[in-house]
Amino acid sequence: MNFRYLADHLRSTGEAAARFFKTEQGISKFEVEAPIDKHLGYRPALGAMTRDYHHLCIEVSESPYPRSLDAVVLDIVNRALPVKLFVAFPGGTEPADYKQLVDRARTNGVGVVEIFPDRGEVIHQATPLSLMSVRRIEKGRFPLRYRAALSEAEAVFLSGSPSPGCQLIYQEIENLSRAIAEKTKALRLWRALRPGEKAPRLNLRRGPWAKVLETLQGHLDPQKCSCIERALLNRIAGVTPYRNETGHRARNRVERMKRDKEIRTRFESACDLLLDLVNASKPLRV
């Protein structure tokens, strides 16, 4: 491999890292110290495009996290580039501040791999940096019972599975909206049936979620239950199509960037919606 920047004594680590990622992720060809984006002020030691159109970037260093990567990560996040960045460092060379460095890498979404001549050990995986700019959930603003689920959703999202992360939030919205429907019905907060109109026979706990919301929108009496506004119910109805969407595979890099941007927004607005719903339903003691 024709390295021009990488120090001589780290070149064997670079070559071993390429072998490791070939075995682990099926990457057959790496570009050496080539740019991944013309506007980005960084060239990784090794770079390749993954099958799901992420740039796999591998930085080879003596340290598990060279501090110069701070600026690189910030630049990539700001540009929302679909990059998975790993640091490969030589096995058996644990620096004194190893733990702090690995923690810093994890916080910044950078994966760390310890490379031995014949194998590699993943200390932790990389997060697609295009997802890293997602607004973190302010868990303190939610009641205690939601916080574990929110933490899990955030962790799943940042681990590189944004759709399942979103689904965990939608799950909470669904559960709460069903409970609101049941409670308002039980408290007789629904409007009276019109002449000839039949009472809805939908199972509010198990029936299709979209139908439950439709029923709630049609029957909740705003005079009797002013806390749940129609606009809020409309917002919830608007997210039902995404409830079970696992996402289609991106067909190219541009599509990947577009999808990542959309899903970040979706995650953030789902969290906002859940918080609004939680606050609105407080008088109902659901």
Partner 1 sequence: MQVSSEMTRLMEISVEQIDRNPENPRLVFRSPELEDLLESIRRYGVQVPISVYKSPKRFVLIDGERRWRCCLKLNKKTIPALVQEKPDPLTNLLLMFNIHALREQWDLLTIALKLPRVIDLLEKKLGKRPNERELAEETGLSRGLFRRCKLLMDLPQRYRDELLKELNKPKPEQLLTEDLFIEMERSLKTVQRSLPSVIDDKDRVRQVLLAKYQQKVIRNITDFRNMAKIARAERVSADTAKASTVLRRLFEPNEYSIESAYRDSVGEAYTERDLLTRIKGLLEQLEDLTPTQLDEDMVELLRELMRRVDGLLRASHHEL
Provide the binding-site residues for partner 1, judged by CB under 8 A.
4-5, 7-10, 33, 35, 38, 40-43, 61-62, 66-68, 71
Q: From residue 52, give the alpha-carbon distance in Å to each of 40, 48, 70.
A: 21, 11, 25
Distance CA 185, CA 190 (A): 6
Of 38 and 201, nearer to partner 1 (C-beta) is: 38
Crossing angle (nearest 10°) for helices 162-186 and 144-158 = 150
Crossing angle (nearest 10°) for helices 230-239 and 162-186 = 140
Of 45 and 180, nearer to partner 1 (C-beta) is: 45
**Minimal distance in Å, beta carbon 5 to partner 1?**
5
**Minimal distance in Å, beta carbon 45 to partner 1?**
9
Q: From residue 213, give the alpha-carbon distance in Å to each of 203, 234, 282.
A: 12, 9, 19
Of 9 and 285, nearer to partner 1 (C-beta) is: 9
**Minimal distance in Å, beta carbon 228 to partner 1?**
53
The pairing of beta strand 31-32 with beta strand 111-116: unpaired
**Minimal distance in Å, beta carbon 62 to partner 1?**
5
Of 7 and 186, nearer to partner 1 (C-beta) is: 7
- Contact call for residues 69 and 44 (beta carbons, < 8 A): no
**Minimal distance in Å, beta carbon 42 to partner 1?**
6
Query: Which has the closest alpha carbon to 234: 224, 220, 248?
Result: 220
Of 11 and 147, nearer to partner 1 (C-beta) is: 11
Of 37 and 229, nearer to partner 1 (C-beta) is: 37
- Contact call for residues 28 and 124 (beta carbons, < 8 A): no
**Minimal distance in Å, beta carbon 68 to partner 1?**
5
